Chains A and B, each alone.
Chain A
Amino acid sequence: MLSIDIQSDQGNLSLQIKTQIPNAVTALFGPSGCGKTTLLRAIAGLTPSRGLLTFNDETWQNDTVNVPSHRRRIGFVFQDDRLFSHLNVEQNLRYGLERAQANGVDIKLTLPDVAEHFDLHPLLRRRPSTLSGGESRRVNIARAVLGQPKLLLLDEPLSGLDNTRKADVLPYLADITRELQIPTLFVSHIKDEIAQFCDHMIVMQQGELVDHGPTAEVLPRLWREPLGTDRSLNEAGSLINATVTDFDPGYSMIHLQVANQPLQVIGPSMPETSQIRLFLAAKDVAIALRAPTDLSIRNTLAVTIGRMTSMQDEAPGFVAVELIIEHSSAPQALSAHVTAAACDALSLEVGARVFALIKSARISTPSIFES
C-alpha cells in the first residue's frame, strides 16, 4: 500500500493528491499536463513536494523525514531515453542490478532471464546511441526491472514501441509485476492498455484526483465527467473479460469466449486459455431483437437489458443501455449508446432479452496492438 498525501507547486501546475494505492498494477490516467509525471516524480523523490508518503511500513516522507530517491528502492522508466551513453547495453542493465547486490538485496530477477524476455541478447554489446527507439525503450524497462525494485513507476513506458513489441513487452511486464508482486504505477492514456494491464486506476485532472478504484468500475464510468477536450479520453465503454480458445493464422483471428459465448477479434497469436480484457466502446455496440444473419458484423452476444438511462445532459436524444451478458458466472455488462428513437421503435425495456452486435472491425483491434 502506497499512501500519498502531498502537495507540490511546479510552474502552472499545482499538484494536490491524497489517496491510497494498493499493491497491484495501477493506472495513472488523465489528459496531458494534468500532473501524472509530476506525481510519479514526487513519489520517486525526484521532484520536491510537501506532505506525507508511506510505502507499506516505510515512511518515505513526512515533516522530518525525506528518504532520498536512491534509498526508496524504486524502479523508474522515464518518458525519455535515460540510458547511460558511455556504457554498453549490458553495462546499463547491470547498473541497478549491481547496486542491489551490493546492498544485500535478494536477487529475484537475473540478467539472463530478463534479457531473454525482452529479447535483448543480440543488443548486449551495443552502445545506446546505436539502438532504435523501440530497442532503447526495452533496455530502459529491463534496466529498471533488474534493479529489483519494490515499487515500479512507469511513465508511458510503451510509447515508441511498435505493435508487435508492445504485445510482447506488455504481457511480460504484467507477468513479472504480478508474479513477483511488484506494485506498479503505470502512466497511460490508452484505455485498451489499461484494460489489459491494470487492476486499479487513478484519474487525474489539473493536478487533482477525480476518480479512483478498480479498473472494471472506473473505466466504464469515465465518460460521465469529461476530461479535457481529447475525445478518446472521454469515450464511454465497458470492460469485458474473455478467454482465448483458438487462433486462426489465416485470418489473424483470435477466437475468444465471453461467458460461454464466442467472440472473434483480430490480433497476434496468443496462447490458449490466456485471459484477456477488452475495452468495448459504447458507440460500437448496437442492439437487435433477433440474432441477425447475413450481416458483416460477426460478433453477437445474447444479453439482457439491465438498465436504461437517458443521456439528456451528455448527448441529447441518446440512451445509455446497460446489457448484462447471459450465461456469465461473474456478472459482466456491456454498455451501448443508442438513440431514444431506436429504443422506442424496438420497444426496448429493462429485462428484455436482446442481442448485442459488436462491430468486428472495431473490437478486433484493441489499440494495444495498434500504434
Chain B
Amino acid sequence: MNELSAIWLTAKLAGITTAVLLLVATPLAWWLAHSQHRLKPAVEALTALPLVMPPTVMGFYLLLLFSPDNVFGSVWVNLTRSALSFSFNGLVIASLMYSLPFMVQPLTAAFGQIGRRPMEAAATLGASPWNAWRTTVLPMARNGYLTAAVLTFAHTVGEFGIVLMVGGNLAGETRVISIAIYESVETLDYTQAHLLSAGLLAFSFSTLLCVYYFNRQFALSLGPRSAS
C-alpha cells in the first residue's frame, strides 16, 4: 500500500503543478518572447535559476520562507490554520518554483517562433487581442504546450532534493516516489527500491519518447511548401 500511496501522491503533485504552471507560465512566456523591457534579462535569469541551483539551496530558502516566524509563513498559517513546511501544500509551492523553467522555456520558444504576425493579421480581420490570441497563437503553439506540459509533469515526478528539504517523509502527505525509493534503500529493502526505480525509469523514457515523437510530427506538418 505504501508504494501506491507514494505513486498517487506523486501523480497528484505533478498534475497540480502542471495545471497551475500552464496558467501562470503562459503570460510570463508571452512577455518574455515579445517584450523589449530593460528588466527582461533579469526576469529571464530569475526564471532559469532553478535549472542551475542545487535543489537543497532552494529548499533551504523555502523552509525559511514557510517558517511562521516569516511574514509569508505567518500569513499562510493565519489564513489556513496549517503550516506550509512538511505539508503537501508546501510541496506544491516548492514544485511550482522548481519546475517553472520547464514550462516557461518551451512556451517562450514556441511564442517566439510564432511571433506577432498572426496576431496582426487577425486584428486586421476584426479579432480582438484575446480572441486573436486564442484562435491563432494558442492552436499554433499546441506542440509547445504539449512539450512544456510533459516536461513539467515528468520533472516534478523526478524531484528529490527540494522535497526532502521542504516536505520530509510523511506517508500520504509528502512521501513521493523518489523519497520512497530513498527510504527503501536506507532500510535495505532493495525489492521495493527496484520496483519503484524501474517504474520511474520506464515512465521517464516513455514520456520523453512521446515528446520527441510529437515534435517530429510537428516538424513534418510544417515542412517546406511545395514549389510553385
Chain A residues proximal to chain B, CB less than 8 Å: 44-46, 68-70, 73-76, 78, 80, 82, 84-86, 95-96, 99-100, 103, 129-135, 143-144, 147, 153
Within the complex, which residue of A80, A130, A143 is in contact with B225, where a contact is CB–CB below 8 Å? A130
Q: Which residue, of A44, A82, A131, has the highest number of chain B Cβ atoms within 10 A?
A: A82
- Contact call A84/B124, Cβ cutoff below 8 A: no
> What residues of B have a CB within 8 angstroms of the CB of A129 in the complex?
221-223, 225
Question: Smallest CB-CB separation from B120: which chain A residue?
Answer: A46
Q: Return 17 A-B CB contacts under 8 Å, by A number.
A: A69-B123, A69-B124, A78-B121, A80-B117, A82-B117, A84-B136, A86-B136, A95-B122, A100-B126, A103-B126, A129-B222, A129-B223, A130-B225, A131-B225, A133-B228, A134-B228, A144-B124
Query: Interface code B80-102, partner A: CB below 8 Å = 1, 0 otherwise?
Result: 00000000000000000000000
- Contact call B127/A70, Cβ cutoff below 8 A: yes
Within the complex, which residue of A45, A76, A82 is in contact with B118, where a contact is CB–CB below 8 Å? A82
Q: Which of B114-170 contact A (CB under 8 A)?
A: 117-118, 120-129, 131-132, 135-136, 139-140, 142
Task: Give the size of the chain B interface in residues (CB under 8 angstroms).
Answer: 26
Complex Cα distance A188/B190, Å?
A: 77
Q: Is B227 an interface residue (CB 8 A)?
A: yes
Q: Is B226 an interface residue (CB 8 A)?
A: yes
Within the complex, which residue of A131, A133, A147 is in contact with B125, where a contact is CB–CB below 8 Å? A147
Query: Interface code B21-64, partner A: CB below 8 Å = 1, 0 otherwise?
Result: 00000000000000000000000000000000000000000000
> What residues of B have a CB within 8 angstroms of the CB of A132 in the complex?
225-228
> What residues of A have a CB within 8 angstroms of the CB of B126 in the complex?
70, 73, 96, 99-100, 103, 147
- Contact call A68/B123, Cβ cutoff below 8 A: yes
Nearest CB of chain A from residue B146's CB, rounded to whole Å: 14
Within the complex, which residue of B121, B223, B225 is in contact with A84, where a contact is CB–CB below 8 Å? B121
- Contact call B123/A135, Cβ cutoff below 8 A: no
- Contact call A46/B140, Cβ cutoff below 8 A: no
Chain B residues proximal to chain A, CB less than 8 Å: 117-118, 120-129, 131-132, 135-136, 139-140, 142, 221-223, 225-228
> What residues of A have a CB within 8 angstroms of the CB of B131 in the complex?
99
- Contact call B124/A147, Cβ cutoff below 8 A: yes
> What residues of A have a CB within 8 angstroms of the CB of B142 in the complex?
86
Complex Cα distance A132/B131, Å?
A: 29
- Contact call B121/A70, Cβ cutoff below 8 A: no
> What residues of B have a CB within 8 angstroms of the CB of A68 in the complex?
123, 128-129
Question: Smallest CB-CB separation from A69: which chain B residue?
Answer: B123
Question: Smallest CB-CB separation from B138: which chain A residue?
Answer: A86
- Contact call B121/A76, Cβ cutoff below 8 A: yes
Nearest CB of chain B from residue A141's CB, rounded to whole Å: 13
Complex Cα distance A310/B223, Å?
A: 60
Nearest CB of chain A from residue B118's CB, rounded to whole Å: 6
Evaluate whether A143 and B139 lie within 8 angstroms (CB atoms) in the complex, with A82-B120, A129-B222, A135-B228 already known: no
- The 3 A-B residue pairs whose C-beta atoms are closest, nearest first, are A132-B228, A96-B125, A99-B126
Within the complex, which residue of B132, B135, B226 is in contact with A70, where a contact is CB–CB below 8 Å? B132
Within the complex, which residue of A45, A73, A85, A99 is in contact with B140, where a contact is CB–CB below 8 Å? A85
Question: Smallest CB-CB separation from A70: which chain B residue?
Answer: B123
Question: Smallest CB-CB separation from B142: which chain A residue?
Answer: A86
Nearest CB of chain A from residue B219's CB, rounded to whole Å: 12
> What residues of A have a CB within 8 angstroms of the CB of B125 in the complex?
70, 75, 95-96, 99, 143-144, 147
Within the complex, which residue of B123, B124, B128, B222 is in contact with A85, where a contact is CB–CB below 8 Å? B222
Complex Cα distance A70/B128, Å?
A: 6
Complex Cα distance A44/B126, Å?
A: 11
Within the complex, which residue of B124, B136, B140 is in contact with A74, where a contact is CB–CB below 8 Å? B124
Complex Cα distance A44/B119, Å?
A: 13
